[in-house]
Amino acid sequence: MLLDKLINYLKLDKQEFLFQFNSHPNYPSALAFSDTLNFMGVRNDAYELDKEYWDELPEEFIAIVDNTFSLVKKTGNNYSIYSDKAKTLNKEELHKKATDFVLLFEKENVENKSVTSYKPFIYAIFAIIAIYTLLNQTWYEGAFNILSMIGVYISLEIFNQKFGNTSTVIGSICGGDAATSQTVNSCNKIIDQDKTSILGLKFSDFSLIYFIGITVLGLFLPATSFIIKGFTLASVIAIGYSLYIQGFVEKAFCRVCLLIISVLIAQLIISIFLFDNTYFDLTTSLLSLILWVASFSLILYLNNTLNEKENLQKSNAKNLRFKRNYELFKRELLEKEKITFTDNETFSVGSKEARLKISIISNPYCGFCKDAHKIMENLLVKYPNDISVQMRFNYSSEKQNEKFTGLISDFMYIYKNKPEKEFLNIVEYWFETKDEDKIRQKTAPASNHENLEALINMSIENRDAGLNFTPIILINGYQFPEKYDREDIYYFIDELTEDEEII
């Protein structure tokens, strides 16, 4: 299921989206799609809506068109459809190709996540090669090197696309509108269904190896002209093989493949007619052989590493479908006896009317409690009206030192006398700095005389319930299952807020 256009439009991290979508227990259902968008920060609501009411929908919505989740945009009397490719349909065609499922989303909540890219590094190398060529080589040697860099870039885009990354370059070369959809399919057919396999490398991978080697050899022209001419002549075999596959096997021509063939032919012409017929040099030949072996080994290593990573991600996604199954989580959650506290107000934040109440048993000096508190803070931000959180610090006035008592007193002062947001900020600030003096500076001496009886009683309740280790999370009195990571709570909040047996 290809969703490139839709994911790009919503400015989502494609790999993260597909991983979360594939690992959803209900994959590949509409519920899984909706939940994944929610998890990625795109708030949405799904409906089954008869087509007669679609004229009342917003200008942008998501529907299932041709069995694929697609972004639908009204453009005059027509509709632009974005999924694996862009196309335009009129009203009758859209109604015929789409199901009744529609999903309305809030675009303003979408965050554009920055993704680390290799491209700046590649551009820097290309710039260095271009400057060197301009200063030290002839125009035809420079033209040859520029063609080599074009070959490297396009081949690298194809290599990268094998592992689920969208290539805007290949998309623009192959075309992306309705009129060119056949061309797009041809590109995908040739590139993605390449059956060549030598040690796991496809035919397109050898294109990358070839152009890397030619690019490096081109820096030493004219000394390497004899070697380069030999390789360009050998590329005729690759050109013939590619044309045969496209014309007679697949019976479809790929624009990006034809572009690479054009680069190879141009380099062949330059090497034959403009390169000097220098003599064969054994040392240069041996160094060239080492270069090709190094290039081959590098691409083979990257290919195997990325394949292994992709396989692990797919396996992990399948395993997570079970782990994120709400019914399994609920069974584990209800396995232990429910714990009831008499004090649910001290250090309580969030919506007072919320039916889903989360308690976190922690200690300010606990190293793992920082992450647990951060999870609670994130949940309060994302679900401000649906949950409340009580911070139940373990504290004993008889066993704790003066610094701990002072810190807890500062917390109590801020909680009683300042807005809730300021209390959350001071707790977060503490876990970032772990500096009692900085906390004291924010509260002043006024916090010295706070009554800590409520906190002491809370700690006694924690101890009587066997909640001595920290951090521990409780959901409406039920202890968060030990078989799950604390971060997994994000996946179950929506179901928890609607589960009458829990709330």
pLDDT band at 5 (very low <50, low <70, confident <90, very high): low
DSSP 274-308: TS--PPP-HHHHHHHHHHHHHHHHHHHHHHHHHHH
Amino acid 186: pLDDT? 59
Amino acid 399: pLDDT? 59
Within a domain: residue 322? Answer: no
Per-residue pLDDT reduced to its tens digit, 431-450: 998 888 888 887 765 556 67
Q: Percent of the chain having pLDDT more than 70?
A: 88
Number of neighbours of residue 416 by Cβ within 10 angstroms: 12
| Structural contact between residues 187 and 174, judged by C-beta atoms closer than 8 angstroms | yes
Q: Which domain holds residue 66?
A: 4-109
| Structural contact between residues 174 and 183, judged by C-beta atoms closer than 8 angstroms | yes
pLDDT band at 113 (very low <50, low <70, confident <90, very high): very low
Rounded Cα gap, residues 206 and 203, in angstroms: 5
Per-residue pLDDT reduced to its tens digit, 391-412: 999 887 665 567 888 888 889 9
| Structural contact between residues 37 and 44, judged by C-beta atoms closer than 8 angstroms | yes
Assess whether 161 and 282 both reside in one domain.
yes
Amino acid 116: pLDDT? 47
Instruction: Work out whether the CA dihedral 269, 271, 274, 279 comes out positive or negative.
Output: negative
| Residue 45 CB partners (closer than 8 Å, separation 6+) | 103, 104
Cα 483 vs. chain centroid, distance in angstroms?
25
| Structural contact between residues 239 and 265, judged by C-beta atoms closer than 8 angstroms | yes
Lowest mean pLDDT among 188-197, 225-234, 349-358, 422-431: 188-197
Within a domain: residue 316? Answer: no
Lowest mean pLDDT among 16-20, 223-227, 426-430: 16-20
Amino acid 181: pLDDT? 41
Within a domain: residue 260? Answer: yes
Amino acid 182: pLDDT? 41
Number of neighbours of residue 107 by Cβ within 10 angstroms: 12
Lowest mean pLDDT among 85-99, 175-189, 253-267, 281-295: 175-189
- The one-letter amino acid at 261: I
Assess whether 353 and 244 both reside in one domain.
no
Assess whether 128 and 93 both reside in one domain.
no
Of 14, 311, 4, the C-alpha closest to 170 is: 4
Residue with tokens 């030290």: 136
Q: How many helices (H) and strands (E) does the chain have?
A: 19, 11
Please calculate the CA angle 119-201-228 and round it to the nearest 5 degrees. Answer: 70
Amino acid 255: pLDDT? 84
User: Whole-number mean pLDDT of the chain?
Assistant: 83
Per-residue pLDDT reduced to its tens digit, 149-206: 999 999 888 888 777 666 667 767 776 443 334 444 556 666 666 667 778 788 888 8
Assess whether 90 and 231 both reside in one domain.
no
| Structural contact between residues 311 and 342, judged by C-beta atoms closer than 8 angstroms | no
Please calculate the CA angle 43-44-45 and round it to the nearest 5 degrees. Answer: 145
Per-residue pLDDT reduced to its tens digit, 455-487: 889 989 998 998 888 899 999 999 999 889 899
Within a domain: residue 483? Answer: yes
What are 308's two structure tokens? Answer: 């292994």
Does 52 have pLDDT greater than 90?
Answer: no
Mean pLDDT of 117-121: 76
Per-residue pLDDT reduced to its tens digit, 299-327: 999 888 888 887 887 777 777 777 788 89
Cα 161 vs. chain centroid, distance in angstroms?
15
Per-residue pLDDT reduced to its tens digit, 72-89: 888 777 888 877 667 788
Selection from 155-159, 285-289, 371-375 with the highest mean pLDDT: 371-375
Rounded Cα gap, residues 138 and 223, in angstroms: 13
Within a domain: residue 502? Answer: no
Indicate left, alpha or beta for 195 from its phi (over 0: left) and psi (-120 to 50: alpha). alpha
Assess whether 351 and 216 both reside in one domain.
no
Assess whether 172 and 212 both reside in one domain.
yes
Which has the higher per-residue pLDDT, 177 or 335? 335
Amino acid 59: pLDDT? 84
Assess whether 59 and 80 both reside in one domain.
yes
Number of domain units in the chain: 3
Assess whether 161 and 205 both reside in one domain.
yes
Assess whether 295 and 352 both reside in one domain.
no
Within a domain: residue 396? Answer: yes
Assess whether 396 and 449 both reside in one domain.
yes
Amino acid 56: pLDDT? 83
